Structure 1
């Protein structure tokens, strides 16, 4: 098993920053700034970033992507109307997809509970159910891509003077930055703003990146939402959208021990198998995962193996090589 990309500048994934230690991480990476910060996931609180700036030595410039997007939606009524229509369609698609995911997940729980059935027959049935779940995920993601592609083809954001001006300013700020710090918050708002202002081609893919929570999630190829401990009861993990693709072969799970029933190995094993060959990487408070120079995960990166047990990337890779 290998999870790697092309050689790149340092990419560091962190657990939730309830007690920020960015100053130490920055020092360890020998970065002095200036830094471009992205806090669009904080929404209205986007620019309440004094503490973040302090940890970056006062050398941070917030790209203000959420505020820029709001400016576009306020001042460009045609684009705003199209944006609202797409949001409604994506919400409907997500909620209908979740009905299928919930029913399939419940069926798998029932199949696993059939203790009086032959193990071979039960194994076949469970395998078929898991394949249905993966098919639902894949088809849903394809339809999300189709809706997004239709939206961008119809609106042609680069032809809107206001959007083009914001994109140029964002690119200029990234050109001046030594590294990017990508915070968490609302993953949907964050991802939408990143796409609208073309942040990857504008420079995110060439700079060192330090990211946590939703900021780490959006770097992946596929954003997965999850919460076993939601107030209304467990939610089956759900595919949300394509990420930025800077972290291939990885599903990031922030605050995993708080939001997942890690002790339920059957549930965790299904999670790992469902998204394989990508590996599920839990990022709890205090976690730090720095990718290798070739873009691969380090051997000590925490992962959930396909039996549902907390392990390391090295152990899972070794087992995969042996089994293969």
Structure 2
């Protein structure tokens, strides 16, 4: 695996072929300037999310109210609901577009190693180790930190290259989330009241048309059909998949199965139903 090869690389002679040790190269980065640039970028993204929530929460409430009060066959209410859902999705799309603009405007902080030839050679060496891997494993953890670090060091591009040539990429929990097109944060019962699912950012897009929801039974009210239905409808046509410890998600086109312990992978539907994924046939 790539991690083992990276460890071996650290046993190499202290000087690289350019006559500089790795520590010497890294010390050429102005850490204080980089920290300030990164902080400015993150502060602007945080400010964007505050504005996003100011628009998102009222829109979510409108959709919930319409779902709670509309009667079967009420065409006018159905039309209003579709318009409200379109507003909700537009707010989500605008968040992602604005976040991309901010990241692009702070490119020197997003990928600082591109501005220094010696540092770029060092990161290129790490990239080559990853490219030589026969398989890559991505663990869980804090999904925002994981996403930022992988992007910061350009690992997202390497993963795309590996995926295109068929190298196995194994991922779980937060690791599975960063491989999707959109990363959704969710917690229905936070300490400060009912939570609202929110978009974090675009993922790497290696697993298309799916929203990963690890530890779904602990973080979502899966018995609340209205909340489940809204979550699945909001991010449609992507399929919302809930995963528990022991799940092994298998996919063949649009068909999802579970190769792990029975009942550890479920699908959330727009009608509010939650169904176990069928077991993968051995």
TMscore range, shorter length = 0.7 to 0.9
Tell me if 1:222 matches 2:222. Answer: no
Query: Residue in 1 aligned with 2:261?
Result: none
Query: Residue in 1 aligned with 2:267?
Result: 303
Deviations 1:111-166 (A, max 9, x none): 22326797333222222221111110011111011111111168763123465244
Is the 8 Å Cα contact of residues 163 and 197 (structure 1) preserved in structure 2? Answer: no
Q: How does 1:226-237 map to 2 (within 5 A)?
A: 226-237=186-197
Is the 8 Å Cα contact of residues 297 and 313 (structure 1) preserved in structure 2? Answer: no
Tell me if 1:251 matches 2:211. Answer: yes
What RMSD in Å do the two structures reach over aligned CA positions? 2.9
Query: Residue in 1 aligned with 2:130?
Result: 174
In the alignment, which of 29, 33, 38 is matched to residue 83 of structure 1?
A: 38
Query: Residue in 1 aligned with 2:20?
Result: none
Q: SS in structure 1 opposite 2:189?
A: coil
- CA shift in 2, pair 1:167/1:110, >3 Å: same
How far, CA to CA, are the matches of 1:190 and 1:73 in structure 2? 25
- CA shift in 2, pair 1:235/1:255, >3 Å: same
Is the 8 Å Cα contact of residues 72 and 163 (structure 1) preserved in structure 2? Answer: no
Tell me if 1:196 matches 2:145. Answer: no
Compute the displacement of 1:203 (Å): 4.8
How far, CA to CA, are the matches of 1:86 and 1:222 in structure 2? 20
How far, CA to CA, are the matches of 1:244 and 1:116 in structure 2? 40
Compute the displacement of 1:280 (Å): 0.9
Q: SS in structure 1 opposite 2:157?
A: coil
Is the 8 Å Cα contact of residues 180 and 204 (structure 2) preserved in structure 1? Answer: yes
Query: Residue in 2 aligned with 1:36?
Result: 2
Length-normalised TM-score, structure 1:
0.69
Between Structure 1 and Structure 2, whose CA radius of gyration is higher? 2
Tell me if 1:271 matches 2:226. Answer: no
How far, CA to CA, are the matches of 1:283 and 1:162 in structure 2? 43
In the alignment, which of 69, 94, 107 is matched to residue 152 of structure 1?
A: 107
- Tell me the number of residue pairs that the alignment of Structure 1 and Structure 2 aligns: 250
Query: Residue in 2 aligned with 1:42?
Result: none
How far, CA to CA, are the matches of 1:202 and 1:304 in structure 2? 32
If asked which structure has higher relative contact order (CA below 8 Å, sep 6+), I would say 1
Tell me if 1:99 matches 2:99. Answer: no
Contiguous gaps of at least 5 residues in structure 1: 1-34, 38-58, 315-324
